[in-house]
């Protein structure tokens, strides 16, 4: 006989789980008792929200499924922002929650919450387990659902009497997965793929628009191969950064609200848009009617619900990005598709004449810090950001070389995500340098995780771009609300002193000339390190597309001088 908790832990191990991020409580005590000597590593975070973000960061860095665990009621509810974050960015996470005994469900018992009802809109699927005999099957299904098709979070709610329930399970049964109504499509339709290649052959101004689906499907190599074969310029969403190296000659950088001018101009003038694993998010498209207004559209996505949702499509292809791109490569090899030389020349001119720039003076600018970091790490390492200006500067100025190097909350834009996600990424990749880039506002949303970093000596390097503002909101107030800084100014905080209280070394940097030495010291220090950069307070993220405008209608653009424009 085995208890439900024993079957749960065995099932997690069967799925390859070697680490859980969690926070114990009364309703999960049976699980914690089995977990104690199970061989699965458990990381005790300081807040349940950090548990789910850490599991998310672990999943994004490793390509595996992350697991988090919380007790019932407030513990489970504290997971919701993180579950929603994973859902918006299609990240495979299993959230395990305790629940009051089945006989008390619906009675408003102590620490009861209807977590399956609450999370229904923000999970790919969820389960309320009512019989310990179902746990093994449910765990198998949950991992399958989370990690296939369009990936996402799955929640398993476990009443306490189910955890302690006895099951006569004489052998470790492997149950077959057969889910009616869930049959993801992996291979694209051959006829549609042939139509896509025909459009590429006919196009004079094609461009690839690659999103996070390329990262999730581990198909960066195929994307680069197809782009190089057909000389296709590539722009990526923020979630697609790293799908093609930053300095690849066909890479135009990020598009959208804070994208490069070259990418936004190219999308606006293209005659064929090849969207791969992207969802035409409003921060990317701006005014949708003016997004690639003269282009035919090929849309490749594993989720059929995304195709045609925001933008009419000429050739829809439902399938895994890697599978579809491989078929496109095979078909292209049999054809003689001419290069688009005039288009490539025009794009190169945009790129040369509209480079990302910021003021080069004696002040401490955040873009300079990111550039220095990128140089010191030579574009390697794992960069995790919070949300806001810090996120955009990191996305714009770090030279990512490969996929899964860039971890950030895209769709939901969750402040407080970055720090715990960096912890999770570091556990996933213990030999990599993991750097958190944060603002002073967002860092304070989960600052308590300094305790987790200290307890486990997690060697995360914490860089705070401190402007004593909720910077992105302040920027919008400056540009669109006549500089009325309504409740966005923050008081000064001694972050170095707080880190020291947890036994974490740190530095405060106020001078541009001290940036390189401080970064090198952080990288050379064993264990965690914090740098509090006191940056120019009213620095803005440019270029910027105002909300609702066309992406070619940017403000804060670099205007080439006459000599540049002649080239």
* Catalytic positions: 48, 110-111, 160, 472
DSSP character string of 427-438? HH-TTS-EEEEE
Q: Compute, in degrees rounded to 10, the torsion defined by CA atoms 514, 448, 47, 45.
A: 70
Q: How far apart are CA 158 and CA 127, in angstroms?
A: 9
- Long-range pairs, 474-480, Cβ under 8 A, ≥24: 474/538, 475/389, 475/540, 475/541, 478/538, 478/540, 479/540, 479/544, 479/546, 479/555, 480/546
**Which helix (H) or strand (E) element contains residue 275?**
strand 272-276
- Answer whether 370's CB lies under 8 Å from 394's CB: yes
Instruction: Let me know how many helices (H) and strands (E) the chain has, helices first.
Output: 24, 20
Q: How far apart are CA 146 and CA 216, in angstroms?
A: 12
Assigned token pair, 8 = 């749960």
Our measurement of the distance from residue 540's CA atom to the centroid of its chain's CA atoms, rounded to an integer in Å, reads: 23
Q: How far apart are CA 195 and CA 206, in angstroms?
A: 15
Of 101, 166, 90, the residue nearest 128 (C-alpha)? 101
Our measurement of the distance from residue 178's CA atom to the centroid of its chain's CA atoms, rounded to an integer in Å, reads: 30
């Amino acid at each position: 006989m085995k208890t439900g908790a024993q079957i749960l832990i065995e099932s997690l191990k069967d799925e390859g789980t070697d680490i859980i991020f969690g926070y114990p409580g009364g309703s999960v005590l049976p699980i914690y008792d089995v977990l104690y000597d199970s061989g699965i590593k458990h990381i005790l975070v300081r807040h349940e929200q950090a548990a789910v973000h850490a599991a998310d960061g672990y999943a994004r860095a490793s390509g595996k499924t992350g697991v988090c665990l919380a007790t019932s009621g407030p513990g489970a509810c504290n997971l919701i922002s993180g579950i929603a974050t994973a859902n918006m960015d299609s990240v495979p996470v299993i959230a395990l929650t305790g629940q009051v005994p089945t006989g008390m469900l619906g009675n408003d018992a102590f620490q009861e919450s209807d977590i399956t009802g609450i999370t229904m809109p923000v999970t790919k699927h969820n389960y309320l387990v009512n019989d310990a005999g179902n746990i093994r099957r449910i765990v198998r299904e949950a991992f399958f659902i989370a990690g296939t098709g369009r990936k996402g979070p799955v929640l398993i709610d476990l009443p306490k009497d189910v955890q302690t329930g006895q099951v006569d399970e004489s052998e470790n049964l492997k149950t077959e997965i057969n889910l009616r109504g869930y049959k993801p499509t992996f291979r694209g339709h051959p006829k549609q793929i042939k139509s896509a290649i025909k459009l590429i052959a006919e196009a004079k101004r094609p461009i690839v628009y690659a999103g996070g689906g390329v990262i999730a499907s581990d198909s960066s190599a195929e994307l680069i191969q197809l782009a190089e074969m057909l000389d296709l310029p590539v722009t990526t969403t923020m979630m697609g950064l790293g799908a093609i190296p930053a300095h690849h000659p066909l890479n135009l950088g990020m598009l959208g609200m804070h994208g490069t001018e070259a990418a936004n101009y190219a999308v606006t003038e293209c005659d064929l848009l090849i969207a791969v694993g992207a969802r035409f998010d409003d921060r990317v498209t701006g005014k949708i009617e003016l997004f690639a207004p003269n282009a035919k559209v090929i849309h490749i996505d594993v989720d059929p619900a995304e195709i045609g949702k925001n933008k009419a499509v000429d050739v829809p292809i439902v399938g895994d990005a890697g599978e579809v791109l491989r078929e496109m490569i095979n078909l292209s090899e049999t054809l003689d598709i001419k290069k688009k030389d005039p288009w490539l020349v025009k794009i190169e001119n945009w790129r040369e004449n509209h480079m990302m720039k910021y003021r080069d003076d004696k002040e401490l600018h955040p873009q300079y810090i990111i550039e220095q970091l990128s140089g010191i790490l030579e574009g390697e390492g794992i960069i995790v950001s919070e949300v806001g200006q810090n996120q955009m500067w990191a996305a714009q100025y770090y030279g990512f070389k490969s996929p899964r190097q860039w971890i950030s909350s895209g769709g939901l834009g969750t402040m407080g995500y970055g720090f715990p996600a960096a912890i999770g990424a570091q556990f996933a990749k213990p030999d990599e340098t993991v750097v958190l880039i944060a603002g002073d506002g967002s860092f304070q949303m989960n600052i308590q995780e300094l305790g987790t970093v200290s307890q486990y000596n997690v060697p995360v390097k914490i860089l705070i771009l401190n402007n004593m503002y909720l910077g992105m909101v302040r920027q919008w107030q400056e540009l669109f609300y006549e500089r009325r800084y309504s409740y966005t100014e923050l008081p000064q905080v001694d972050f170095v002193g707080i880190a020291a209280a947890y036994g974490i070394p740190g530095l405060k940097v106020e001078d541009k000339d001290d940036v390189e030495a401080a970064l090198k010291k952080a990288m050379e220090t064993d264990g965690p390190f914090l740098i509090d950069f006191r940056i120019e307070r009213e620095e803005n993220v440019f270029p910027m597309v105002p909300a609702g405008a066309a992406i070619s209608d940017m403000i804060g653009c670099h205007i080439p001088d006459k000599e540049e424009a002649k080239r």
